[in-house]
Amino acid sequence: MTSKNLYSWKLRASITSAAVIWAAFHFWVLYFWFQFSLEISIIESFNATITMTGSAYLWTYIVAYIPQSSRLQSLVVASFLLTVACHYIVRESLFYLGEGDDRYMDFVAQSGPIRIGIYYLVITSSGALMIFYSRLKEQQDIAQRDTATALMVREAELQKLQLQLQPHFLFNSLNSINALILVNPPKAREMVQQLSDFLRETIKRADEKWITLDQEFTYLQLYLSIEKVRFGHRLDVITECDDQIKLWLIPPLLIQPLVENAIKFGLYGTTGNVAIVLKIQRVEDSLGIEITNPFDADMRPAEGSGFGLSGLRRRLYLLYARNDLLKTTTDNNLFSVQLTLPEKTLMAD
């Protein structure tokens, strides 16, 4: 059952329940209080209740055609018209029912204004209730659409950021291959093969929102094998990671941009050996990732201002709704990136 059908069913069930209660009360007043005959009490209670209930049911259809800007005025006018119609139908049927019973006919005539007031009150209340529920349902639908739209925008932005990572890395790799083609063709061919393996593995998991830390290491090793073809023994990446946390779930291509950023600021423009330290450990209920690289403060900025860090900050905010998960620090000639990820493991997922 759709939410719209369920909503209509609940409204009709409420109206029916109220009608049953009103019919029982109406019968009790006529039969036990005014002591009319059983036949008159039953028929009038049934007749009046069915007529008012039908008027109330009409609101479930009328409210959909009432403009929001004039719902109050429409409520007053429509309730008045329905009350007049309801009173006329009930009065004519009661005159026919009580023909020959002078006491009952006097009761019908004297109770006319009271009946009109009750009809108007019930019909107006029903209309107001329908308008309230209709407005509430509209607001819920709007909220659901807004939530769905925000989710679609968020997913689209995440997808865009992840797609941006691949060309960013691809352009750098192609530049490296271009530099090796003339000076070292065998290494250029090796790098092309490694780049192909890396992109194939990335495309394989393009639709995955989360991967294990162990799978991210696979990506990272493919990336480093490409960079080591270019830099050779100059590049040394020291990794410290406990095997017990390798099932930790993280967004794909999360560590690779950080290592790429470290290589860019640590090796580019230098001729000596550079050691980059990647340390991953559990910190209470979070995963702590720290990448440290040397840099020359006189030759390049200490802050990573490229797409690697800025894009990663945006991805983290979209995934975790927090802006404090990525921090950078400098200590003498060392630049460090600290990444903190809330717990998300295969067991918990």
Q: Are residues 224 and 338 in the same domain?
A: yes
Residue 282 lies in a domain: yes
The boundaries of the domain holding residue 206 are 184-342
Q: Are residues 189 and 141 in the same domain?
A: no
Structural domains of the chain, count: 2
pLDDT score of 290 more than 90: yes
pLDDT of residue 279: 93
Largest Cα separation within the chain, whole Å, is: 119
pLDDT of residue 255: 86
Q: Are residues 110 and 256 in the same domain?
A: no
Mean pLDDT of 59-79: 72
Q: Are residues 119 and 190 in the same domain?
A: no
Q: How many helices (H) and strands (E) does the chain have?
A: 9, 7
pLDDT of residue 205: 66
Last residue of a domain, one of 146, 174, 193: 146
Residue 131 lies in a domain: yes
Residue 178 lies in a domain: no
Question: Residue 245: which H helix or E strand, with range?
Answer: none
pLDDT score of 346 more than 60: no
Q: Are residues 108 and 13 in the same domain?
A: yes
Q: Are 261 and 308 in contact (CB under 8 A)?
A: yes
> Which phi and psi (to 5°) does residue 252 adopt?
-65, 150
pLDDT score of 298 more than 70: no
Q: How sure is the predictor about 303, in pLDDT bands with cuts at 50, 70 and 90?
A: very low
| Nearest-10 Cα torsion for 260, 264, 270, 276 | -40
Residue 188 lies in a domain: yes
pLDDT score of 304 more than 60: no
Beta pairing class for 274-283 and 235-241: parallel
pLDDT above 90: percentage of residues in the chain = 4
Q: Are residues 98 and 192 in the same domain?
A: no
Q: Which residue has the tokens 């960079």?
A: 227
Q: Give the residue from 346, 348, 341 showing the smallest Cα distance to 255.
A: 341
The tens digit of pLDDT for each residue in 123-144 reads 777 777 777 777 777 777 777 7
Is the overall model pTM greater than 0.85, yes or no? no
**Cβ neighbours around 178 below 10 Å, total:** 10
CA gap 59, 124 in Å, rounded: 10
Q: Are residues 128 and 201 in the same domain?
A: no
Q: Are 223 and 262 in contact (CB under 8 A)?
A: no
